[in-house]
């Protein structure tokens, strides 16, 4: 499974990238706002740091404007994936941009029907939002499973990029179901290393080591 980091925080990306935990990055207007930086400047810095795809999102609502914005974003770096919303205009833009050889991430997916359309339109990635479905008492993981079945039935090359990840369990469940990618905040990726029994075991080892009176260095 690929790990994309869902942030525009350059320092957080660098820390994970140095450990080999970053296969790509996803950004959106809210994350750019949180970074407090110019979209082109921060996106270029991220693209220079990370070798994998970096999703940069259009903000227009009409297809022709999405295409124009997408082409501008694509000029930032060769590893840009243009992020478009799952609307009819977004699908139109996806088809046009993908036809010109650009990677396209179709975002805000909430149904398998939408995912099927995105694959037909040539999307490189489809981003189903698990957490937001859970928020309205629907099963986000079931959506991932349904998309996996549909894509495998027809050998679609579109990668399932599980988004709106809220917990470590979300990551593990997506891995078991067969999502190609998860995009998660840095805190969730780092939390995957934690376990109460690991902490308990280390505490006991440290106590026993102190009793030996020895030093390694």
Q: Which CATH number covers residue 76?
A: 3.20.20.70
In a domain, 204, yes or no: no
Q: Is 83 labeled as catalytic in the residue annotation? A: yes
* Catalytic option among 34, 44, 83, 103: 83
Q: Which domain holds residue 143?
A: 2-192
In a domain, 199, yes or no: no
Percent of the chain, pLDDT > 70? 100
In a domain, 119, yes or no: yes
The DSSP annotation for the chain comes to -EEEEE---HHHHHHHHHTT--SEEE--HHHHHHHTS-HHHHHHHHHHH-SS-EEEE---SSHHHHHHHHHHHHTS-TTEEEEEESSHHHHHHHHHHHHTT-EEEEEEE-SHHHHHHHHHTT-SEEEEBHHHHHHTT--HHHHHHHHHHHHHHHT---EEEEBS--SHHHHHHHHHHT-SEEEE-HHHHHHTT--HHHHHHHHHHHHHHHHHT----
Q: What is the pLDDT of residue 3?
A: 98
Average pLDDT over every residue of 125-132: 98
Average pLDDT, the chain: 97
Instruction: Please give the tally of structural domains in the chain.
Output: 1
Q: What is the pLDDT of residue 169?
A: 97
In a domain, 203, yes or no: no
In a domain, 215, yes or no: no
Q: What is the pLDDT of residue 62?
A: 98
pLDDT tens-digit readout, 27-37? 999 999 999 99
pLDDT tens-digit readout, 159-207? 999 999 999 999 999 999 999 999 999 999 999 999 999 999 999 999 9
């Amino acid at each position: 499974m690929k790990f994309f980091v869902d942030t525009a925080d350059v320092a957080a990306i660098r820390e994970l990238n140095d450990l080999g935990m970053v296969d790509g990055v996803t950004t959106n207007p809210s994350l750019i706002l949180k970074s407090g930086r110019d979209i082109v400047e921060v996106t270029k810095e991220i693209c220079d740091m990370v070798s994998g795809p970096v999703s940069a999102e259009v903000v227009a609502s009409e297809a022709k404007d999405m295409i124009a914005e997408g082409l501008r974003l694509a000029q930032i770096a060769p590893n840009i994936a243009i992020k478009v919303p799952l609307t009819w205009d977004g699908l139109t833009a996806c088809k046009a941009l993908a036809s010109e050889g650009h990677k396209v991430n179709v975002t805000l997916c909430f149904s398998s029907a939408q995912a099927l359309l995105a694959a037909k339109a040539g999307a490189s990635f489809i981003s189903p939002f698990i957490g937001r479905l859970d928020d309205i008492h629907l099963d986000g993981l079931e959506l991932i499973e349904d998309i996996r079945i549909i894509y495998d039935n027809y050998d679609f090359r579109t990668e399932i990029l599980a988004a709106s990840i809220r917990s470590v369990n979300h990551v593990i469940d997506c891995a078991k179901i067969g999502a190609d990618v998860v995009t998660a905040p840095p805190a969730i990726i780092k939390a995957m290393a934690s376990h109460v029994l690991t902490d308990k075991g280390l505490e006991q080892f440290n106590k026993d080591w102190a009793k030996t009176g020895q030093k390694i260095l």
